[in-house]
Amino acid sequence: MIDRAVRSLTVGMRRGLVPGLTVTTLLLITVAVNALLAPNFFSSYSVISNFSSFVPLVAASIAQTIVVLGGGIDLSLGALITLSSVMSVVLMEGDPGRLPLAVAVAIGVGAAGGLLNGLIVAFLRLQPIVATFAMSFVFAGITLKVLPQPGGQVPAVMTTTYRDSVIGIPVAALVIAGLYGLWWVVKRSTLGRHLYAVGGDERAAYASGVRVNQVRVMSYVLGGTFGGVAALAILANTGSGDPYVGAAVGTALIGGQTTLASIAAVVIGGTALRGGVGGAGGSIGGAVILALVSNIVFFAGISGGYRQLINGAIVIAALALTAVPAFRRSPA
Amino acid sequence: MGIRQFRLIVAALSAVVLLAAGCGDEGDGAAEQDGEGPFTIGLSNGFVGSEWRTQMVEDVQQVFDEYQQEGLVDELIVESADVDVNGQIQQIRNLISAGVDAIIVNPNSETALNAVFQEAVDQDILVIATDQAVSSEVVTNVVIDQEEWGRRNAEWLAAELGEGGQIVAINGIAGHPANEARWTGASAVFEEAGIEVLTEGNADWDQATAQQTMSDLLATYPDLDGVFTQDGMALGVYQALEANDLLGQVIQTGEARAEFMFNWQEQLEQDTGFRSIGVVNPPGVAGSALRVAVHMLQGEELGEDALDGNTLFVPIPGEVTNDNFAEWFAEVEGQNPAYVVDGMLTEEEAAEYFA
């Protein structure tokens, strides 16, 4: 029985369907430590609020994973998410009747921004790291045009549903499960397979008839689409619009913090930044770990200034652990 | 098949976690606001990259210690880290889970924390926003009036230059509420006084950017009479003017921070004709906020005149000018260059708002 479980675990990991051992170990540790330190970790408020805190970064890290798997990187992700959120909130004006429109706009803006990134990277052949960094300022500029100052109102139904639970399961947890399901569909599709192929070895993929440029464009479009979901989660979590929602205070780099955290989550999750190896399951774990670490730092009474240091140490530890043979995952 | 089995394991594990969650104690962990102490206070600060914020946390601690000796409060939980809005939401949720009676928050957003403030208030936790006002109606803001701050700087500059004076403005981050409020106050004064604002640029509260911007603007506008700027950018402007030998000719607004005042002092000693203004933006506003919070926790209500909407404007402690420079300089002499001139409500002054 155990044997079979271990074997299925290995098979699952090889297929990249489930988070690798590194991220699973880290996740279990952070959950356990958090539960020990936080007095009401399992209270309904704590469970719901924790899951609510996870969703925006979970969606952003899936978005980043898809782009990274295809051999790219998206440094404009945070800015694009912010742009989607402000466009959506400006159109909503707190009116529940406009919710479907607002959802469509958030997703649409994300996808369109991703398309733009993809076309620039694939056809202008600019380095993704430079091209998307430049695009982050374009998205940031539009964001400030659309919503120059914090404002806008999310309909109450959106913020309350987000904090609700269905038969004891937080809605936010269901959203995360749904996002994982969507990722699973993407991964199993032809496009998903091509994504891994292009990220793994572009020339080999090209030689075997994969339309490389098309796949790269689609990786950014899909990334942007998940970014649109992140935007909606931010709106549901915050209840309002703010152009600096994903930025560290005192910096004008719109969405900068979101972008960096999404990349950290991808790395912790075991997706190789060179592309082609990994999966969003690990990144989801990475995003949750980052959030739980903040909680641990808080409840352990450690000065908040150490949070960044600990986050950095975890990213390094995750990278180091992948070098230990027992933790090494076979390439997907 | 193996995969299916693995998924079963994952599903089973999830079920266990969720079951544990469901069975968990339903209590919210928050204390009732019963008007009887001692109270637990939470402080949420989402930015640590400046001396201003460090002083702010120290000021809160100082007021807390005073109340602790009186037995009114028992614990101060400080959440201070560089976070974005989502991170600050998490900070506040942790404070709620830790069972505080009141949360003092220096908010990273005017609007985007409203939903989490509602979560706190739903659990009978008092929320006071300080430094930066928020739009939530369930929160009481204890702040200085940033519009007045901008106005007082602008009034001084307008009086120095007289009608027809030509200035440029180097402001903070575009879209930042404090920046917008200050500029709203200042630009109205300039219009009224017949001061021509040639251009308005943003240097994002960064000293080096401000210096660069100022150098560029000096090349573009050789007939400049004055500069309106804010906070740490004042020193960048000062350095650009100094490099172009224009100190005392192009008049700038300054700041009430030690490093700027050290330079100011040097200019006064050399009698160069340099003049400036530093309107105080006190970190102690958060200490004032704690005083207001403790009164409110004891069940006292703010007087009708005290509030403007849900905002209590505490007075700006003063302004440094050439006339009173020596007096203020005594406060910053020997301090760390990043030290900011401070001030906060005394217990008596705070009590007056509840009369």
pLDDT at A322: 65
- Residue B223 included in any domain: yes
* Inter-helix orientation angle B114-122/B85-97, to 10°: 10
Nearest partner of A151 among A99, A92, A211, A72, judged by Cα: A92
Residues 41-60 on B with a CB inside 8 Å of A are: 46-50
Residues of A in contact with B86 (CB under 8 A): 53, 56-57, 234, 237-238, 245-246, 258
Tokens matching residue B161? 């230059």
How many domains are contained in chain B? Answer: 2
- Residue B256 sits in a domain whose CATH number is 3.40.50.2300
- Residue A4 included in any domain: no
Could you give the C-alpha distances from B200 to A149, B217, B301, in angstroms and in order?
17, 10, 42
Task: Point out the domain boundary residue: B255, B279, B303.
Answer: B279
Mean pLDDT of B241-256: 95
Task: Assign A324 a pLDDT band (cuts: 50, 70, 90).
Answer: low
ipTM: 0.82
Task: Assign B108 a pLDDT band (cuts: 50, 70, 90).
Answer: confident
Residue span of the structural domain in which A151 resides: 19-31+42-327
- Residue A36 included in any domain: no
pLDDT at B28: 39
pLDDT at B77: 94
Does residue B346 have a pLDDT over 90? Answer: yes
Residue span of the structural domain in which B209 resides: 146-279
Nearest-angstrom CA–CA distance, B14 and A146? 41
- Residue A323 contacts B where some CB pair is shorter than 8 Å: no
- Residue B17 included in any domain: no
- Residue B319 included in any domain: no
CA angle B286, B320, B227 (to 5 degrees): 100
pLDDT at B83: 84
Residues of B in contact with A289 (CB under 8 A): none
Nearest to B29 among A39, A148, A251 (CB): A39
The verdict on B90 and B51 lying in the same domain is yes
Work out the mean pLDDT of chain A and round it to a whole number: 88
- Residue A12 included in any domain: no
- Residue A10 included in any domain: no
Nearest-angstrom CA–CA distance, B101 and B299? 12
pLDDT digits (tens, 9 = 90+) for A53-106: 999 999 999 999 999 999 999 999 999 999 999 999 999 988 899 999 999 999
How many domains are contained in chain A? Answer: 1
Work out the mean pLDDT of chain B and round it to a whole number: 89
Residues 60-99 on B with a CB inside 8 Å of A are: 78-87, 89-91, 93-94, 96-99
Interchain pair A18, B6: CB under 8 A: yes
Interchain pair B110, A242: CB under 8 A: yes
The verdict on B274 and B288 lying in the same domain is no
Residues 248-267 on A with a CB inside 8 Å of B are: 248-252, 257-258
Task: Assign A3 a pLDDT band (cuts: 50, 70, 90).
Answer: low
**Cβ burial, residue A115 (10 Å; 0-12/13-18/19+):** middle
Residues of B in contact with A151 (CB under 8 A): 110-111, 135
pLDDT digits (tens, 9 = 90+) for B14-48: 544 444 444 333 333 333 445 677 999 999 998 87
Q: How do strand B140-143 and strand B277-279 relate by DSSP bridges?
A: unpaired
Residues 275-314 on A with a CB inside 8 Å of B are: 291, 294-295, 297-299, 303-305, 307-308
Interchain pair A246, B86: CB under 8 A: yes
- Residue B324 included in any domain: no
Distance from CA of A63 to the nearest CA of B (A): 18
**How many contacts, defined by CB atoms under 8 Å, are there between A and B?**
214
pLDDT at B12: 43
Task: Assign A323 a pLDDT band (cuts: 50, 70, 90).
Answer: low
- Residue A122 sits in a domain whose CATH number is 1.10.3470
- Residue A257 included in any domain: yes
CA atoms within 13 A on the CB side of B179: 22
Interchain pair B25, A291: CB under 8 A: no
Minimal-distance CA residue of chain B relative to A3: B2
